[in-house]
């Protein structure tokens, strides 16, 4: 069943040492790779096949969770989220070419999710209604059978892992000047068993270019604005200059 992944990235078979480690994780190790920034937060350093990850609410964190596996060749289906920002998903690392969007799964969403799990490694779900315990058990059985991963943008009672955005702080913008550049978030993970002790990490979610990275230790506690501004402030100024747009807003007064 895992053979398709190998076909998607045929070169990964030949590469032994220098390839992305994630690609070796993909076929059959029981784990789907995640972005490096998220490895510390997840038991085993990846998404365990057959498990459910709940994220509390819809947000960029859901996309970031799926990004690592998508970049490594997995297909990702997104269900019940018509508001998904595809550009943000692509910036976070998801491959739009391996994305299936089912905006309105309707009342039969459990069947839709089960069908999707048959084909896609990751299904990102925002349940239109609260599933009954029976529906949940059936879906969990399907997830285990197809060895997929369900990322729930919401709560899921039997979830093996939960990731929540505990704190967030946008940088780059003042009262009438600047623009949004990056968001520093504190993601708290907890789960069952050995992972039941919550652990927290600071992430750039998104970073200045839309990617998701870990906040360097030095700035973890302090105000990170300087780091973000330094990276691409000139970029933006140059971009507007080229475009001949003269509305850069210094009109706070």
Partner 1 sequence: MRAARSAAQGVPRSAPRRVLVVCCPDWPAAAQDQSGRPGARAFEQVISAVEEFCPRVEVIRPGICAIGARGPARYFGGEAELARKITEAVTGRGFGCQVGIADGLFAARLAALAGLPVVVVAPGGTAAFLAPYPVITLESPELDDLLPALGITTLGEFAALPAAEVANRFGTRGARAHRLARGHDPRPLVPRPPRADLSVQIEFDPPAEQSEPVVFAAKMLAAKMHSRLADGGLACVRVQVQAVCEDGREITRLWRHDGLLSALAVAERVRWQLDGWRTGQGDQAGQAGQAGQGSQGRETGDGIRAGGITLLRLTPDQLVRAGGRQLGLWGDAVPSDRVARAALRVQAMLGHGAVQCPVVAGGRSPADQVLLVPFSDTGTPLLPADRPWPGRIPAPAPATVYPAPVPARVTDDSGAVVTVTGRAQASALPARLWLWLPPDVGGGRSGGGRSGGGRSGGGWSGGGWSDGGRSGGGRSLAVISWAGPWPVTERWWDLASSRRQARFQLVTEDGSAWLAVVQDGHWLIEASYD
Q: Pull the structure tokens for residue 225.
A: 């604005």
Contacts of residue 142, Cβ cutoff 8 Å, sequence gap at least 6: 113, 114, 117
| H or E segment to which residue 11 belongs | helix 11-14
Q: If we measure between CA atoms, which residue out of 72, 64, 71 comes closest to residue 29?
A: 72
Angle subtended at Cα 155 by Cα 211 and Cα 40, rounded to the nearest 5 degrees: 40
Which tokens go with 114?
């089960």
- 34's tokens: 């995640």
Site string for partner 1, 207-236 (x = CB under 8 A): xxxx-------------------------x
What is the CA 19 to chain-centroid distance, rounded?
22
Q: Does 13 bind partner 1 (CB under 8 A)?
A: no
Binding footprint of partner 1, residue count (CB under 8 A): 95
Closest to partner 1 by CB, 31 vs 151, is 151
Can you name the residues that pair with 246 across neighbouring β-strands? Answer: none
Please check whether residue 137 is in contact with residue 150, taking contact to mean a CB–CB distance below 8 angstroms: no
Residues 158-177: x where in contact with partner 1 by CB under 8 A, - otherwise, as a string: -x--x-xxxxxxx--xxxxx
Q: Of residues 70-99, which lie at the interface with partner 1 (CB under 8 A)?
A: 75, 77, 80, 82-91, 95-99
Pairing of strands 161-173, 149-152: unpaired
CB of 208 to partner 1, least distance (A): 7
Based on the shown chain and the rule CB under 8 A, indicate whether residue 142 belongs to the binding site for partner 1.
no
Binder to partner 1 among 15, 29, 57, 132 (CB under 8 A)? 57
Binders in 120-139 for partner 1, by CB under 8 A: 120, 126-130
| Residue 141 or 166 with smaller CB distance to partner 1 | 166
Considering only 25, 38, 102, 124, the residue that binds partner 1 (CB under 8 A) is 102
Task: Please say which residue, 18 or 247, places its beta carbon nearer to partner 1.
Answer: 247
CB 15 → partner 1: shortest distance, Å?
Answer: 13
């Amino acid at each position: 069943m895992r053979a398709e992944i190998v076909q998607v990235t045929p070169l990964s078979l030949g590469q032994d040492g220098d390839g992305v480690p994630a690609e070796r994780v993909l076929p059959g190790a029981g784990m789907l790779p995640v972005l490096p920034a998220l490895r510390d937060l997840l038991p085993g350093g990846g998404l365990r096949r057959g498990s459910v990850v709940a994220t509390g609410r819809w947000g960029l964190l859901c996309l970031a969770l799926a990004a690592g596996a998508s970049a490594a060749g997995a297909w990702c289906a997104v269900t019940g989220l018509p508001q998904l920002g595809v550009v943000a998903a692509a910036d976070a690392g998801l491959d739009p070419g391996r994305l299936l969007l089912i905006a309105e799964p309707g009342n039969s969403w459990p069947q839709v999710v089960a069908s999707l799990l048959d084909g896609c490694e990751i299904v990102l779900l925002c349940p239109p209604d609260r599933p009954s315990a029976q529906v949940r058990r059936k879906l969990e059985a399907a997830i285990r059978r197809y060895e997929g991963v369900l990322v729930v943008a919401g709560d899921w009672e039997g979830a093996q892992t939960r990731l929540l955005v505990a704190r967030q702080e946008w940088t780059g913008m003042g009262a009438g000047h600047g623009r949004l550049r990056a968001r520093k978030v504190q993601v708290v993970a907890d789960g069952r068993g050995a992972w039941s002790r919550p652990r927290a990490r600071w992430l750039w979610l998104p970073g200045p270019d839309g990617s998701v990275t870990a906040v360097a230790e030095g700035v973890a506690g302090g105000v990170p604005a300087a780091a973000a501004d330094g990276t691409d402030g000139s970029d933006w100024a140059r971009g507007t200059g080229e475009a001949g747009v003269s509305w850069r807003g210094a009109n706070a007064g």
